[in-house]
A and B are shown apart, each in its own frame.
Chain A
Amino acid sequence: MTEYRGWIHQRQKELMQRWYARLDESARTGWPPAICLMISGNCVELLEAFGIVPIYPEVNALQLAIRHQSLEPILAAEELGYATDNCAYVKADIGAYLMGLTPSGGRLPRPTLVLCNFVGCNTYIKWFEHVAAFLDAPLYVLDVPFLRGAEPSPADIAYVVAQLKELVHRIEALTGLRFDPDRFRDAVRCSQRVEDLWSRIKHLARREPSPFDAYFDAITLMGPLYVYRATPEGVEFFERALAELEAKAARGEGVYECERFRVVVEGPPPYPYFRAFRDMFARWGATAVASTYSTVGGIWEFGFRHDPDRPFETVALHMLAHNLTNRNYLQRYDQIRRYVEDWRADGVIIHFVKSCRLFSAGQGDMRDYLTKALGVPTLYIESDLEDPRYFAEAQIRNRVDAFFEALERHKRAGQRRIAV
């Protein structure tokens, strides 16, 4: 097992630490201003144009979970009245705020604005209403129409653009800063470049063997992708990451010594057991060649890019149509189908997470589609992305093992349709 850990991991850590240091500085000195924002289909380019630092509660929550620090804030939130069946990301985040707990140990600033980019996930609105209420901060809900047809309508685009422009005025009024259209275009240009590089990285996974794991390793790359997408640091990071992975591919190196299985993963990972979960796949030499979770922030592998010549419009288009959460469920089925076919996968792993109904409600039907309509082998497992109380390690391992054993037999026999 030669799990790759190189410059990418080191640099990723540095970049994330630097982000937390900026947030700490903002908390201590009041500058730069900080705005709460969601990961999915967001307008971070607009914040970058003002030099505002984003606070990502989702990143904070997952960092707490991966460091095994999520249970305490979850319990604190439940004490306050949250239900066991509420999204545990929200509970960890709110609980951590109230306890003064942060993943870095530094401070988090009180947001100048709580900006809810509502892209599909209803929990986002509730979450940010609560952040605004508990921190006594102003709230703006940027309402993005859900993608109910194949493409957004002109009315959808006009609505989002109008709100983005209102948001500019709101930020100006709150911070006293002036909006700089040139800086906005620069930020959009950086995003465009990062998206291009990220997309090329994702397409490297079409090689056999794939030089990286498009689920587990993609998560390492997602931190810089979300925090630094619209910055020169982001461009520099992804240029070097691509070069490194291309070199690996050129040497014919895969994730493991032998790539035995190629899978597509649907659903977020169980962060409290990230390492244990990864090992369950590693021992089978199973590489994720694509994942839906890595497209929450944006789907770029099929060609969409921000465009500095149409900054507002392409920011709106990204929010409307080019991120996983604002696309409808059947479009997700189709996204998975494309991965299976174009990235040549042997099967699909569906990870149901109790916290996230956006991801998980209906995954049984998705499975029905994959196995019956497409004849793709699937594995269905359940746990949670944040709450350590819902991970039945032995049971999940048994299912994973049973799936790959069956997959191996069927691969040998040239059959496909299996479901565990």
Chain B
Amino acid sequence: MEELIRRCEEIVRDVSFPTVRRWKAEHPEGKAIAYFPVYAPVEVIAAAGMLPVGLHGAGDRLEIQHADARFGSFICSIVKTTLELGLTGHLAPFDGMLFSSICDSARNLCFVLKRNFPELYVDFLHLPHNPESASSRAFLRSEYARLKAELERLAGRRIEEERIREMIARYNENRRLIRALYEWRAEEPHRIRAWELYVLVRAGDVLPVEEHTALLREARAGFARRQVKPRDSIRVVLESAFCEQPPLGVIRLLEDAGCYIVDEDLTLGRRWFREDVPVNGDPLQALAESYLDRSVASSVRHDWRYPRFRALLEKVRARRAQAVIFLIAKFCEPAYFDYVLFKRELERAGIPHLLLEFEEKMYTFERLQTEVETFVESLLFE
């Protein structure tokens, strides 16, 4: 069990992308398409015989030497480390990169990459922000059809509808297992450490889906066999680190300071849908409708029919959490904005919360630790 988690941690940390290189060696004709957080219709990519790879910047594994000059002050780190990956040759295993309408910095990065790496297929998906409008479904379907045509051009072959349906089924299974692990973790949080679940789920970003599904099954069985006693911790929901990822040390620190993390939005793209995507009928339509009507709440998806602050409150209640910790990447504007309405809603409901800021390149955590410990103590001895 510990070995499996250690392997996942290694895969997740390695910015030379060994799993992608291995897959390409095994599939000489295959192409790898990376996507910037948070969500991408991976089923369409996989149906083209390509490997979809979730890219989360370079974390603390790469010194920023060139990208600072291109992106300047007040811009988040993940945008810079992603460009740095490109400028230092780390994106070599990839044939393409996808972006979507999550924020202004990421969108500009898409086009900066396009200029600097003309040999890469770089594309921008417009994921709709008006699910209230019936026309958004037809639009998103056409956007996915456009992506499919681009991938067909890149692959030099057609993508069969049946193949997309098959991939939907495989990813449904994968997402179902992840959802179940999250449910279980919320029930018995002492059995799965948050950082373990995090690396386990995130490993799916860089592995073929079948391989990751097998890994999830093995891990589920391993966790169940564990003999561990419950700790004296408070139940918290972790929110706002949906794009740039905190160092593992920060997640460990939260637990060591006395938090059971009973839900978070760290690797949200891997469990993007609340329920299965339908496997019957037009697969692109099914993916489009699922995105608009069956996605999880996220700071990068706007749906005023069901505001995100209400979704957060319901998540807190469903997980029986005692508090919310906002873990916001420095300069992440969508998270900063959402914090204001989240905070208002939590305060109305009398739910304690704490705001922490992080950077993926963070090496000392003393200040964070003090803040969390003080917060936890205030709740434990209330």
Contacts and interface: CB of A to CB of B under 8 A. Distances in A.
B73 A354 contact: yes
Interface string A149-166: 000010110110011001
A82 B333 CA distance: 10
A129 B302 contact: yes
B334 A159 contact: no
Nearest to B300: A122
B115 A155 contact: no
Interface residues of B, number: 56
A220 to B, nearest CB: 27
Given A143-B136, A358-B108, A130 B337 contact: yes
A207 interface: no
Contact of A159 (B69, B138, B337): B138
Contacts of A125: 129, 302
Given A155-B139, A358-B108, A162 B336 contact: no
Interface string A121-156: 111011101101100000111110110100001011
Given A130-B341, A155-B142, A159-B139, A361 B75 contact: yes
Contacts of A153: 142, 146
A166 B132 CA distance: 10
B62 interface: no
Interface stretch (B8-16, B47-55, B96-104, B241-249): B96-104
Contacts of A90: 337
Given A123-B333, A163-B135, A329-B112, A148 B307 contact: no
A132 B51 CA distance: 42
B143 to A, nearest CB: 7
Interface in B58-72: 68-72
A356 B333 CA distance: 10
B305 to A, nearest CB: 10
A9 B81 CA distance: 47
A163 B338 CA distance: 25
Contacts of B110: 328-329
A349 interface: no
Contacts of B102: 122
A83 interface: yes
Contacts of A180: none
A182 interface: no
Interface stretch (A48-56, A186-194, A337-345, A362-370): A362-370
B333 A86 contact: yes
A96 interface: no
Q: Which residue among A82, A140, A146, A333 has the maximum number of chain B CB atoms within 10 Å of its CB?
A: A146
Nearest to A163: B133
A145 B112 contact: no
Nearest to A125: B302
A363 B108 CA distance: 9
B69 A361 contact: no
B212 interface: no
Contacts of B116: 365
A259 interface: no
A113 to B, nearest CB: 12
A20 to B, nearest CB: 27
Interface string A18-56: 000000000000000000000000000000000000000
Interface residues of A, number: 54
Nearest to B302: A125
A125 B128 CA distance: 12
Contact of B302 (A85, A130, A141): A141
B101 A361 contact: no
A329 B110 CA distance: 9
Given A82-B340, A141-B129, A352 B72 contact: yes
Nearest to B79: A361
A183 to B, nearest CB: 24
Contacts of A82: 336-337, 340
A349 B144 CA distance: 39
B17 interface: no
A129 B304 contact: yes
Contact of A330 (B75, B114, B126, B336): B114
Given A125-B302, A362-B70, A357 B136 contact: no
Nearest to A356: B104
Contacts of B126: 145-146, 148
A6 interface: no
A363 B72 contact: yes
Q: Which residue among B104, B112, B330, B343 has the maximum number of chain A CB atoms within 10 Å of its CB?
A: B104
B295 interface: no
Contact of A143 (B74, B109, B130): B130
B338 to A, nearest CB: 7
B71 A361 contact: yes
B132 to A, nearest CB: 8
A386 B192 CA distance: 47
Contacts of A155: 138-139, 142-143, 146
10 contacts: A90-B337, A122-B104, A123-B337, A126-B334, A143-B129, A143-B130, A145-B126, A156-B139, A158-B138, A361-B109
Given A126-B333, A365-B70, 6 more contacts: A82-B337, A122-B102, A142-B130, A148-B124, A159-B136, A360-B75
Interface of A: 80-83, 85-87, 90, 118, 120-123, 125-127, 129-130, 132-133, 139-143, 145-146, 148, 153, 155-156, 158-159, 162-163, 166, 328-330, 333, 352, 354, 356-358, 360-365, 368-369, 382
Interface of B: 68-75, 79, 101-105, 107-112, 114-116, 123-126, 128-130, 132-136, 138-139, 142-143, 146, 302, 304, 307, 328, 330-331, 333-334, 336-341, 343-344
